[in-house]
């Protein structure tokens, strides 16, 4: 089982998450709740499974295994990457609509709906940047394999294994962009990596602005 999980691709992890989400939706069918809330609960389960599998890979793979895995598996499909970003955007729209419903609720039901919306929003944020982290890792080591010495990213203090970047380094790079919409001490050195980082930064900024707008909406509806 551990061997199988260590070779799973991004789409496979998303498939496992989707299966978990469908199972949660099916389990909640008898529960008296709106279809939107039931769907968001399934989304939370899906991204939870995806995050657990992704962080398990990050915690168990050192730099050597990260490089070998990135170079042996197919590069993440651009269509799949775009599709996941669309799913995240759709989930944010659903969260916004759900939070609009809380104005007609009160007590525990109101608190539960707000909590569900916030958990789903956090899951969407984590999913977007985790997908990008694995995309950066694959692009970095595939570029090295194809003749780009630095892989398009300059990590401070990097060297040969085990000091070469592992999945945690790419998670760090991706999450910093997600929080600040800019790079920190890791620099993009290739044209292709700068384009990927630019798109990621724009999406991160738009997502963070949406989070702020939803937060203001929740606060305004609570007073």
Q: What is the pLDDT of residues 4-41, one digit of tens each?
A: 444 455 555 555 555 665 666 556 555 666 777 777 88
Task: Tokens for 81, please give them.
Answer: 């990457």
Distance of CA 178 to CAs 71, 127, 174, Å?
25, 11, 6
Omega into 162 within 30° of 0, i.e. cis?
yes
Helix (H, G, I), strand (E, B) or coil at 7: coil
Angle at 211 between CA 206 and CA 213, to 5 degrees: 95
pLDDT at position 223, please? 55
Per residue in 105-138, pLDDT (tens digit) is 677 877 787 788 888 888 888 888 998 898 898 8
Instruction: Please check the confidence at residue 202 and state whether its pLDDT lies above 50.
Output: yes
Look at 219 and 94; give whichever has higher pLDDT.
94
What gap in Å lies between CA 173 and CA 179, rounded to an integer?
10
User: Rounded mean pLDDT of the chain?
Assistant: 77
Nearest CA to 144 among 221, 93, 75, 213?
A: 75
Residues 41-67, mean pLDDT to the nearest whole number = 86
Asked if 50 and 13 touch (Cβ cutoff 8 Å), the reply is yes
Neighbours of 112 (CB within 10 A): 14
Distance of CA 29 to CAs 36, 117, 166, 182, Å?
12, 19, 41, 43
What gap in Å lies between CA 34 and CA 99, rounded to an integer?
12
pLDDT at position 1, please? 46
The region of weakest confidence among 37-41, 57-61, 99-103, 188-192 is 99-103
Maximum alpha-carbon separation in the chain: 61
Asked if 166 and 62 touch (Cβ cutoff 8 Å), the reply is yes
Residues 168-178, mean pLDDT to the nearest whole number = 93
Report CA 41 to chain centroid distance, whole Å: 17
What gap in Å lies between CA 6 and CA 3, rounded to an integer?
5
User: Whole-model pTM above 0.85?
Assistant: no
Per residue in 135-171, pLDDT (tens digit) is 898 889 888 877 777 788 988 876 555 578 899 999 9
Q: What count of Cα atoms within 13 Å lies in the side-chain half-sphere of residue 32?
A: 1
Task: Tokens for 139, please give them.
Answer: 């692009």
Neighbours of 90 (CB within 10 A): 12
Instruction: Please check the confidence at residue 3 and state whether its pLDDT lies above 70.
Output: no
């Amino acid at each position: 089982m551990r061997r199988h999980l260590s070779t799973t691709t991004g789409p496979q992890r998303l498939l496992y998450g989707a299966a978990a989400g469908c199972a949660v939706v099916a389990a909640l069918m008898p529960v008296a709740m709106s279809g939107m809330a039931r769907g968001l609960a399934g989304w939370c389960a899906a991204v939870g499974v995806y995050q657990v599998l992704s962080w398990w890979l990050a915690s168990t793979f050192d730099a050597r295994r990260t490089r070998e895995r990135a170079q042996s598996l197919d590069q993440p499909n651009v269509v799949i990457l775009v599709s996941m970003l669309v799913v995240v955007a759709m989930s944010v729209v659903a969260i916004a609509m759900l939070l609009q419903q809380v104005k007609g609720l009160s007590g525990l039901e109101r608190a539960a709906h707000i909590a569900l919306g916030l958990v789903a929003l956090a899951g969407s944020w984590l999913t977007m940047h985790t997908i990008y982290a694995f995309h950066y890792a694959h692009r970095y080591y595939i570029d090295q394999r194809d003749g780009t010495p630095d892989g398009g990213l300059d990590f401070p203090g990097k060297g040969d294994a085990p000091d070469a970047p592992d999945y945690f380094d790419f998670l760090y790079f991706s999450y910093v962009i997600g929080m600040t919409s800019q790079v920190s001490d890791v620099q993009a050195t290739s044209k292709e990596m700068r384009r990927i980082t630019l798109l990621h930064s724009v999406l991160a900024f738009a997502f963070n602005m949406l989070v702020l707008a939803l937060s203001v909406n929740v606060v305004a509806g609570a007073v």
